[in-house]
Structure 1
C-alpha cells in the first residue's frame, strides 16, 4: 500500500494507506503506486483521484495549486486548497 498525505496551509487533511493516487500535475496527470520512483512536481488546479483499492471507485477531491512529492515513504501533496 502507498502512504498518502494531503496537507493544506490550515491542516493535515489525510494521512492514510491507499492503492493509488492520480495527481493533476502541471505537465499532465500522473499516477503514484507503492514503490514509485522519487520525484517532485508542481500541481495544477484539478481533480485528485484517490483509489483505496485496486478495483474500487476512486474518491475525487478538488485541489488548487501546490506541490507533489514522492519519496520512499510515500506521496505527500502540499495543496494551496482542497475540498
Structure 2
C-alpha cells in the first residue's frame, strides 16, 4: 500500500485544509494534474477550478481561484488566491 500525502490548502485568510490524504487533483495552468505520495517535486501556477482531495472512499472538493501549487518531498501545498469547499462526500 502506498504512503499518504501531506496536503495543505491555504488562502490569504486561513488554512482551509491540512491532512494526510491518498491523492489530490488540481487545475494547473498547463493542464490538470494529480499528486500522490512520493511525487517528484515541481511548482506550477493554478487556474480557476476544482481541487479534489481523495482519501480512501472520501472525496472533498474545493473551488480555487488562481495561486500556486508546490510539491516537495514533504508533500503538496496549494497557496490559492481564494478557496472554499464546495462539496463533501
TM-score interval (norm. to shorter): over 0.9
| RMSD (CA atoms) | 0.8
Deviation at 1:58, TM superposition (A): 2.2
Secondary structure in structure 2 of the residue aligned to 1:58? strand
The equivalent position to 2:12 in structure 1, one of 9, 13, 23, is: 9
Please report the TM-score for the alignment, with normalisation by the length of structure 2.
0.88
Question: Could you tell me which residue of structure 2 aligns to residue 69 of structure 1?
Answer: 70
Cα deviation, 1:62-83, whole Å, max 9, x if unaligned, reads 1100000000000000000011
Q: Distance in 2 between matches of 1:23 and 1:3?
A: 15
The equivalent position to 1:50 in structure 2, one of 37, 53, 56, is: 53
Secondary structure in structure 1 of the residue aligned to 2:64? strand
Please report the TM-score for the alignment, with normalisation by the length of structure 1.
0.94
Deviation at 1:12, TM superposition (A): 1.2
Q: Distance in 2 between matches of 1:39 and 1:60?
A: 22
1:41 and 2:32 matched: no
